[in-house]
Structure 1
Amino acid sequence: MRVHVVLFTSDLRVHDHPPLRAALTAADAVVPLFVRDTGVAGFLAANREAFLADCLRDLDAGLRERGGRLVVRSGAVVDEVAKVVTETDACAVHVAGGVSAYAHRREDRLRDTLRRLGCDLVAHDGVVTCVPPGAVTPDARDHFAVFTPYHRHWARHGPRAVVRAPRAVRVPDGVGGEVLPERADVAGVSPGLAEGGERAGRALLTSWLRSGIGAYEDRHDDLAGDATSRLSPHLHFGTIGPVEAAHRARAAGGPGAEAFVRQLAWRDFHHQVLAARPDAAHADYRTQHDHWRRAPREVEAWQEGRTGYPVVDAAMRQLRHEGWMHNRGRLLTASFLVKTLYVDWRVGARHFLSLLVDGDVANNQLNWQWMAGTGTDSRPNRVLNPLTQAKRYDPDGAYVRRWVPELADVEGSAVHTPWKAAGLDRAALGDYPDPIVHLPDGLARFKRARNLD
């Protein structure tokens, strides 16, 4: 019997899954395998670990509906895959191509090990991104450093066709695995963390396409309106394929759909940057020669949502409660840390990764660098004023009142400047802090640091 192994990584679905389809086409039986990789244990923060547990249980259910099952093991990925290959005499292993330095090293080691076992490694592009990194490049360079020209080429290239889900999955007898993990076994999970898994992701995508995408272009920055898709965790874990999401959005049509697909292109853009420059995960893509401040008390206030700027604090509290933050909130909280407080972007990136369920090295690190002005932004010295941002994207203060209960009784836009309250009105705010920095002082400090004054 000809056996192939399908190594699931960040593609935890049965729909639109080229590695699974290829293995089922070529083999008599497949081993759907997920390895709980001890090499990335430190990266798997509580929220992502809990969401992953949901995803694995749902993937197993989807495979069982088709006569198969998911085999879960723990350890070093290369060692565990080699064991399964030896146990089943598999002749090929299929995996989605990755972009990080770790993914590349894993793939190289896996290919070398499998070669010694007489087994092929087949890496499939266009599984975790719409357009594979390196598929579109500028003349004489290995990647695009500016989004706009990348997007033009990306749109012309287009994603591949969607692969239909299999009707049947046959798994060889005798392949053992571990008990599937459960969310309830994970400590420190954000209380408002969303449900994971392919079924939840597909239901969310269908609902979004039916009732949300039409208004996306006009409302995606509306903090209180919460009008984004919230699909980022499912894209990160691959419970929704970006190719299928792009095709279905375009089928829906309209300006909202085009704006949403543009965000998928941004995601691909960051992946192609990281694939070409793996060190951008921890080093400046374009250095500004910053001498960042060490400000532990201010960083702690930022992390806890106690900066005294309500819109910043609301976004940081949403992050802690949900393991997710509105994209506009991510931009303004990042600007506040790196530009107003002038603290290293890596400090913020680490904190986000400790909580974000959609914490992705390419998108998280490169978005942080974009905001810090050390990445691909063509305007490296832009500063987002939190009061201006609040007035524009939370004009009546509904978002702030939702997440900062100390200010729940402050009416209208006054909620954004609680330090202006006096007497009994200020006392009614309890221990909500005054601003930890005056915005003009922060701006002046940043300009001095970047030699802009």
Structure 2
Amino acid sequence: MKGMGGMTAPSLLWFRQDLRLADHPALVAAAAAGPVIPVYVLDDEGPGDWAIGGAQRWWLHGSLASLAKDLEALGSRLILRRGRSEAVLANLLEESGAERVHATKHGEPWWRAADAALGERIELHDGNHLAPLGSICTGGGKHYRIYGSFWKALQGSLPPEKPVPAPKKLTAPARWPKGDKLADWHLLPTKPDWASDFHGTPGEATAQNTVRAFAAKVGDYEAHRNLPAEEGTSGLSPHLHHGEVSPRAVWHAMAGHKDAEKFLRELAWRDFTDNLTLDLPDYADRNGRPAFDKMKWRKAPKELRAWQQGRTGYPIVDAGMRQLWQSGWMHNRVRMITASFLIKHLLIDWREGERWFWDTLVDADYGNNSVNWQWIAGSGVDANMWSRIMTPIGQSEKFAAADYIRRWVPELADLSDAHIHDPETNGVRPDNYPAPIIGHREARERALAAGRAIR
């Protein structure tokens, strides 16, 4: 449609967790309609208690800076605004004369609420999932709650559509609205700069390079993914979380390689968790199994703090928690070990750990984070049994974590492979490293008793 002066009215392109130009259907649609005004809204109001955490903010700063530079290369710019998304966008529509918002579909409850508030003014596009969000359903039209069943049903939609290239140019509007300066958002820590050693480099270019590098070794993923001392994982989780690369672009980069299925199943887990939270939007706060509402969680702030700081006396747990604090990321196998320890060894509510990960992980997805914590706790609709209690020392030995521990727990760096997993029992614990906060057998018996009490 024509706007003032006979010119085509612009469209707003609303970036959220899709901070890229390649394989961006909303961008393609906006560009085809005429002039485009790209906008990112820092919304700490809509998400409520789930406003993005400190580690995500660090990554977001770098990702927005990278996206702004890439847009400038197309003759465009990124408008930054702050506030409640639907109100900010409504104001921008009026200010700019734009008639429509183009955006990527998201599953988080606050984004869905904002989409609903915008009504007919927003046009949503698939782009952040392997299959259109909400499309993989049972015969009765419900979303799957068991991953195995979801994966089987997903096969009918695979392979996903091929990614579309980024446009070579964007048409600018006749007049640009004003925006904030990224530096004024203070997303980066300063005093102290706790993110100085954070894991990874934000931005679409880095994401694409990471995809190419991992494609060359994806066949080794199944054999090496559980070894924290090795570089066996893809390194893509922060890029996928912030949408610097699309899942279907990753799929097509990996699918032609031998023995890629294990990784592709893990990639599809992201679709599963987003679909699950469509039906259970408060899954991050509420037990999936009502029996767990009766669980007598311990209030143990000192033990919670010891876990957060990596001072539990269990080297593999402490290495993981220190890696998280220092790098904003943690190896996936160690995420399971540390989560199990908090929930079952310390009998502390899984939501305490979930919240800590939300604030300290650069890749903390709402769906992934809540579903994974409830899987470990046994409280989820698709979950591990409560009686499965990981043995930290056994896990550390099984997955050859000695060098991983040496890197993140330097007090133990001089211990041998035979002793480093359990310095207390081996009589070699240094004075500057804590004794175990609780014995494994004692913790296990207490956890099993707590589980029996809620049956």
Q: Same fold by TM-score, threshold 0.5 exceeded?
A: yes
Q: 1:226 is paired with a residue of what secondary structure?
A: coil
Report what 1:245 is aligned to: 250
Q: 2:215 aligns with which of 175, 195, 209?
A: 209
| Residues 41 and 275 of structure 1, relative CA distance in 2, 3 Å threshold | closer
Does residue 1:176 correspond to 2:178, yes or no?
yes
Deviation (angstroms), 1:346: 0.1
> Which residue type is aligned with residue 108 of structure 2?
S
Report what 1:449 is aligned to: 450
Q: 1:286 aligns with which of 279, 286, 289?
A: 289
Deviation (angstroms), 1:84: 1.7
Structure-2 separation of matches of 1:76 and 1:270? 25
Structure-2 separation of matches of 1:420 and 1:432? 13
Pairs aligned (count): 436
Report what 2:108 is aligned to: 100
Report what 1:394 is aligned to: 400
Does residue 1:374 correspond to 2:375, yes or no?
no
Structure-2 separation of matches of 1:443 and 1:208? 38
Q: 1:344 aligns with which of 342, 349, 365?
A: 349
Report what 2:3 is aligned to: none
Structure-2 separation of matches of 1:266 and 1:44? 21
Could you list the per-position Cα deviations for residues 112-163 of structure 1 after superposition, in whole angstroms to 9, with x for gaps in the alignment? xxx5xxxx310112x2221233211112251111111110111221222312
Structure-1 separation of matches of 2:347 and 2:393? 18
Do 2:311 and 2:318's aligned partners in 1 also have CA atoms closer than 8 Å? yes
Report what 1:383 is aligned to: 389
Structure-2 separation of matches of 1:93 and 1:230? 32
Q: 1:46 aligns with which of 22, 31, 54?
A: 54
Deviation (angstroms), 1:88: 2.1
Deviation (angstroms), 1:41: 8.0
Does residue 1:437 correspond to 2:438, yes or no?
yes
Deviation (angstroms), 1:93: 0.7
Report what 2:225 is aligned to: 220
Q: 1:123 is paired with a residue of what secondary structure?
A: strand
Q: 1:310 aligns with which of 308, 315, 322?
A: 315
What does 1:19-418 align with in structure 2 at a 5 Å threshold? 19-25=26-32, 27-39=33-45, 40=47, 43-111=51-119, 115=120, 120-125=121-126, 127-158=127-158, 159-172=160-173, 173-181=175-183, 185-187=188-190, 188-193=193-198, 194-210=200-216, 212-251=217-256, 253-255=257-259, 257-289=260-292, 290-375=295-380, 376-377=382-383, 379-394=385-400, 397-418=402-423
Could you list the per-position Cα deviations for residues 364-396 of structure 1 after superposition, in whole angstroms to 9, with x for gaps in the alignment? 11100000001112534321111111111125x
Structure-2 separation of matches of 1:268 and 1:318? 27
> Which residue type is aligned with residue 258 of structure 2?
G
Do 1:5 and 1:90's aligned partners in 2 also have CA atoms closer than 8 Å? yes
Deviation (angstroms), 1:184: 8.0
Do 1:288 and 1:450's aligned partners in 2 also have CA atoms closer than 8 Å? no
Could you list the per-position Cα deviations for residues 14-59 of structure 1 after superposition, in whole angstroms to 9, with x for gaps in the alignment? 000010001111x220111111113148622222111111111111
Structure-2 separation of matches of 1:239 and 1:324? 17
Structure-2 separation of matches of 1:399 and 1:156? 40
Do 2:57 and 2:188's aligned partners in 1 also have CA atoms closer than 8 Å? no
Deviation (angstroms), 1:315: 0.5
Gaps of 5+ in 1: none
Deviation (angstroms), 1:415: 0.3
Structure-1 separation of matches of 2:55 and 2:383? 29
Do 1:49 and 1:186's aligned partners in 2 also have CA atoms closer than 8 Å? no
Q: 1:365 is paired with a residue of what secondary structure?
A: helix
Q: 1:410 is paired with a residue of what secondary structure?
A: coil
Do 2:61 and 2:188's aligned partners in 1 also have CA atoms closer than 8 Å? no
Q: 1:420 is paired with a residue of what secondary structure?
A: coil
Could you list the per-position Cα deviations for residues 232-274 of structure 1 after superposition, in whole angstroms to 9, with x for gaps in the alignment? 11111001111111111103x211x211111111111111111
Q: 1:6 is paired with a residue of what secondary structure?
A: strand
Cα RMSD for the two superposed structures: 1.8
> Which residue type is aligned with residue 447 of structure 1?
L
Deviation (angstroms), 1:174: 2.9
Do 2:57 and 2:187's aligned partners in 1 also have CA atoms closer than 8 Å? no
Gaps of 5+ in 2: 1-7
Could you list the per-position Cα deviations for residues 58-111 of structure 1 after superposition, in whole angstroms to 9, with x for gaps in the alignment? 111111111111111112211221122112211211111111221111111122
Do 2:58 and 2:195's aligned partners in 1 also have CA atoms closer than 8 Å? no
TM-score where L is the length of structure 2: 0.92
Could you list the per-position Cα deviations for residues 324-369 of structure 1 after superposition, in whole angstroms to 9, with x for gaps in the alignment? 0000010000011111211110000011111000111110111000
> Which residue type is aligned with residue 244 of structure 1?
A
Q: Percent identity?
A: 34
Report what 2:4 is aligned to: none
Do 2:329 and 2:361's aligned partners in 1 also have CA atoms closer than 8 Å? yes
Structure-2 separation of matches of 1:11 and 1:28? 21
